[in-house]
Amino acid sequence: MADFYQLLRQAGTSILSQAKQAVQWFGDQVKNISKDPNKVFRRDSFPKIGSMYLFVYDPKLKATLPFYDAYPLVIPVEYYSDGFLGLNLHYLPPMARASLLDALTALANNNKYDDTTKLNISYKMLKSYSIRFGGYQNCIKRYLFSNVRSSFNYVSPVDWGKVVMMPLQKWVVNSDKKYASSPPY
């Protein structure tokens, strides 16, 4: 059985080549946000399965967590009455995020990479892949709507490859309650 990270290293993905473009994209977005914050991300009140979002989150059980991402980058995969299950890509190193996203784009409903593009993804499908690949299970997180502290900032599919490379996570380390830019992986 192949190791998940070995498969990622062998992938040679097209998304990985977007790292330099990500830096340029981010600079452009910083300029745009100072002019009009609504031009950077579309704000949604409810996340859609198979789309990508950034949002502010305050976990219900944060006191018991060793660390958490207060600004997750999530692809929702399943709804619950009080929230949703999603893949928080920040729980992987940037190169692994890009490789995983590249593999997931094979599940896209079209190749337009516009607002009609969604990943045909479910928790059941992810479970079957975890048996073969493993390694990304720590990205699967449950989010409660009552603990979301912002609107859902929709990431357009054309920008997915750039956004996964950006250091947008905000780690809160429980031991000293400080924000950390360094990831827990």
Asked if 156 and 114 count as a contact pair (C-beta separation under 8 A), the reply is yes
Determine how β-strand 83-88 pairs with β-strand 67-69.
unpaired
pTM value is 0.79
| Rounded Cα gap, residues 128 and 85, in angstroms | 16
> Domain spans of the chain?
14-180
**pLDDT-derived band at 12, boundaries 50, 70, 90:** very low
Question: Which tens digit of pLDDT belongs to each residue from 105-146?
Answer: 889 999 999 999 999 999 988 877 664 555 677 899 999 999
Question: Which tens digit of pLDDT belongs to each residue from 93-108?
Answer: 888 888 888 888 889 9
Q: Which residues have C-beta within 8 Å of that of residue 43, sequence separation ≥ 6? A: 151, 152, 153, 154
